[in-house]
Copies of this chain bind each other. A is one copy, B any other.
Amino acid sequence: MAEDQVSRREFVKMAGAAIGGLAIGAVGGYSLMPAKTTEVEVPVEVEVPAEVPEHPWTYTKIDPDAAAARAYEAYFVAGCSYAVFEGVIGELREQVGYPFTAIPTQMSVFGKGGIMGWGATCGTLTGAGMAINLVSAGATINEVMGWYTETPFPIYMPDAPVKAEGELPTSVANSPLCHASVTNWSNATGYAENDPERAERCGRLCADVAKKVAELLNAEADGTFTAAWATPDSVIECGACHGADGPVNNVFAKMDCDSCHIDPHN
């Protein structure tokens, strides 16, 4: 990139030098001329593409509610991961334009259903990570992850619900995983995984995560971001032996151990 920027500057200098040089030549020429002629140079600006900016791309504060509404709609287009990525980056594309016009947000579709339906990391968090990491080093990602695992969802209430009307019952995922999040919600509410209410719940969850991402990035932009999430007790307790400082030292994670594992020591 640097080399190209230099080459641009050289070109600009070149053009300038050529013009300057000839102008002087022309003036010199005129000083020998009997006839009184003048020459007027009319500069014409020519647009030239700029370089792609260095990573991270400059973040401009966006409206968290606009990101939420965009994410909710996007969920019904291409799933949860795309919804959050498009919810945030789409707002930047609309407000800032280039370079956000240069990234196809459809590249985030793969994250849906915990990566193409595998039930691993909730796609909203993959989309959130991609969006945050495009415009920052990622300091707020840990906060989104922690907040996701401990917050009763869904919160968002769309103006025009797509799959189910009215308020929906909530549940806490206790996990960043798609299948754990969905199953906890199904068990807490009685809705089947493929009921329209479950799809509606996931669509509203996308709005909640996109809004949170925008709020955290805005806070970071204002210099007011502070981390609120604390490591779960189970990670501290199990980590005493299984973590990096423990005698077993065979686990590296921040996920609540109890959300999946029954303590074999009891």
A binding-site residues for B, Cβ under 8 Å: 1, 3-4, 7-8, 10-12, 14-16, 18-19, 22-23, 25-26, 29-30, 32-52, 54-57, 97-99, 101-104, 106-111, 113-121, 125-126, 129-130, 132-134, 137-138, 141-142, 145, 176-179, 182-183, 186-187, 192-194, 242-244, 249-255, 260-262
Query: In the bound complex, do residue A118 and residue B3 qualify as a contact, i.e. CB atoms below 8 Å apart?
Result: no
Contact sample, A vs B, 15 pairs, CB 8 Å cutoff = A7-B49, A41-B43, A41-B44, A42-B46, A45-B50, A46-B47, A47-B49, A48-B49, A50-B102, A52-B101, A110-B129, A115-B126, A182-B250, A183-B250, A194-B252
Q: Please, which residues of chain B bring their CB within 8 A of the CB of A29?
A: 26, 29-30, 33, 37, 39
Q: Please, which residues of chain B bring their CB within 8 A of the CB of A97?
A: 47, 49
Query: In the bound complex, do residue B26 and residue A42 qualify as a contact, i.e. CB atoms below 8 Å apart?
Result: no
Query: In the bound complex, do residue B52 and residue A102 qualify as a contact, i.e. CB atoms below 8 Å apart?
Result: yes
Residue of B nearest to A37 (CB): B40
Q: How far is the CA of A145 from the CA of B113 in the complex (A)?
A: 13
CB distance from A238 to the nearest CB of B (A): 11
* A33-B29, A107-B134 known; A120+B176 contact, CB < 8 A: yes
Contact partner, A133, options B12, B108, B114, Cβ 8 Å: B108
Query: In the bound complex, do residue B130 and residue A130 qualify as a contact, i.e. CB atoms below 8 Å apart?
Result: yes
CB distance from A54 to the nearest CB of B (A): 8
Query: In the bound complex, do residue B250 and residue A110 qualify as a contact, i.e. CB atoms below 8 Å apart?
Result: no
* A55-B106, A141-B116 known; A43+B40 contact, CB < 8 A: yes
Contact partner, A249, options B3, B116, B121, B192, Cβ 8 Å: B192
Contact partner, A38, options B35, B45, B110, B141, Cβ 8 Å: B35
Query: In the bound complex, do residue B32 and residue A253 qualify as a contact, i.e. CB atoms below 8 Å apart?
Result: no
Q: How far is the CA of A121 from the CA of B55 in the complex (A)?
A: 24
Q: Please, which residues of chain B bring their CB within 8 A of the CB of A260?
A: 260-261
Contact partner, A18, options B22, B132, B134, B178, Cβ 8 Å: B22
Q: How far is the CA of A142 from the CA of B113 in the complex (A)?
A: 12
CB distance from A85 to the nearest CB of B (A): 10
